[in-house]
Amino acid sequence: MQRTIDWAEGAVVIIDQTALPREFRLLRLETVDELISAIQRLAVRGAPALGAAGALGVALSALRHKGKTGNVLADAERLAHARPTAVNLSWGVRRALAKLPEGPEGVLAEAKAMLDEDERVNRQASGRAAELILERCERRPLRLLTHCNAGRLATVGWGTALGVVWHLHDAGHVEYVFADETRPLLQGARLTAWELAEAGVPYRVLPDSAAASAVARGLVDCVVVGADRIAANGDVANKVGTYGLALAAARHGVPFVVVAPQSTVDPELPAGGGIVIEERADDEVTTVAGTRIAPEGAPAFNPAFDVTPADLIFAVVTENGVFP
């Protein structure tokens, strides 16, 4: 299966997520500038995929600027700050940069190893989460709800929250998945729906604003989401809308499970209040598919993420274990 992000013949190759589901196309990125632009346009997105992008970006730079450490450090700094919320991006940059003393080939080898590792740890984390959900939820088959896209497109391969769906579906335990559409960039409607259809999992796309009532009406056995940064106290930053979903799940006694690789945990950050929330352009809210829907000049509030406090979360699951 085509990886979301990979290395081929001296360049970074990504699935262009701005084109899905209309078109499946690959982009070849040959410079750090092209990669940063792809990250900022969300052509490559999702916390674990951003970790891989950071590492491959350092490899691109190291190969281009052989022996010029200053240039590589400057590129690494720009890459690490291309988007502020997912900690995986700076983690990926740092990890690849640590191999710079071994030369560009050492950096590239580390970045490639990280690609393999990503799929392995996400399979593991999502397998653990699937077991936990089977223990916690009695109803069979399960009715799950997810937000944004935490599938193979948000990782190098496999996925985190959708990885749980793949495990459960393979075992015949999924009745359906509700995929929140995820305003304003519609990662749920465009990407999660595409992945679920590809995998043959029954699903329905719902407006974000319908999720709380779906939970209240008893149509959801478990909510499962990914994460962009997890603070040391277990507070979780994820796509905006996650917090509201967690409140609804808590109110109705539905378990709310977060699945992420350990690289999403930021042990230096004591609590979620310290997480920088990316604010994106107004026109992502005031236009839909290029058509203006709000009056000309209408200002918007467009935070890309929100923070869910740990006490609303049933468990955070990584490849290293289940953290209640």
Chain positions contacting ligand MRU, by CB under 6 A: 42, 45-48, 86, 148, 150, 154-155, 160, 187, 226-228, 238-239, 304
Cβ distance to ligand MRU smaller for residue 62 or 189 = 189
Residue 191: C-alpha distances to residues 28, 90, 283 (Å): 20, 24, 21
Cβ distance to ligand MRU smaller for residue 45 or 143 = 45
Cβ distance to ligand MRU smaller for residue 105 or 279 = 279
Distance in Å, CB of 129 to ligand MRU, minimum: 12
- Which amino acid is present at 268? E
Distance in Å, CB of 241 to ligand MRU, minimum: 9
Helix, strand, coil % over all residues of the chain, rounded to 5: 45, 20, 35
Distance in Å, CB of 182 to ligand MRU, minimum: 8
**Distance separating alpha carbons of residues 309 and 235, to the nearest angstrom:** 5
Distance in Å, CB of 192 to ligand MRU, minimum: 10
Instruction: Provide the pairing of β-strand 291-292 with 287-288.
Output: antiparallel
Residue 210: C-alpha distances to residues 145, 197, 219, 239, 242 (Å): 11, 21, 11, 16, 13
**Distance separating alpha carbons of residues 227 and 242, to the nearest angstrom:** 9
Task: Return the number of other C-beta atoms located less than 10 Å from residue 303's C-beta.
Answer: 11
**Distance separating alpha carbons of residues 159 and 189, to the nearest angstrom:** 17
Distance in Å, CB of 73 to ligand MRU, minimum: 25
CA proximity to 260, closest of 310, 226, 306, 231: 226
Which residue has the CB atom at the shortest distance from ligand MRU? 226
Cβ distance to ligand MRU smaller for residue 62 or 181 = 181
Question: What residues contact residue 295 under an 8 Å CB cut-off, 6+ apart?
Answer: none
Cβ distance to ligand MRU smaller for residue 44 or 220 = 44
> 161 and 187 in contact (C-beta within 8 Å)?
no
**Distance separating alpha carbons of residues 174 and 202, to the nearest angstrom:** 8
Strand partners, 293: none
DSSP, collapsed to helix, strand or coil, labels residue 72 as: helix
Cβ distance to ligand MRU smaller for residue 64 or 284 = 284
Distance in Å, CB of 235 to ligand MRU, minimum: 15
Cβ distance to ligand MRU smaller for residue 155 or 318 = 155
Distance in Å, CB of 117 to ligand MRU, minimum: 15
Task: Judge whether 228 counts as a catalytic residue.
Answer: yes
Give the active site residue among 180, 228, 235, 266: 228
Question: Greatest CA separation found in the chain?
Answer: 62
Q: Give the active site residues.
A: 228
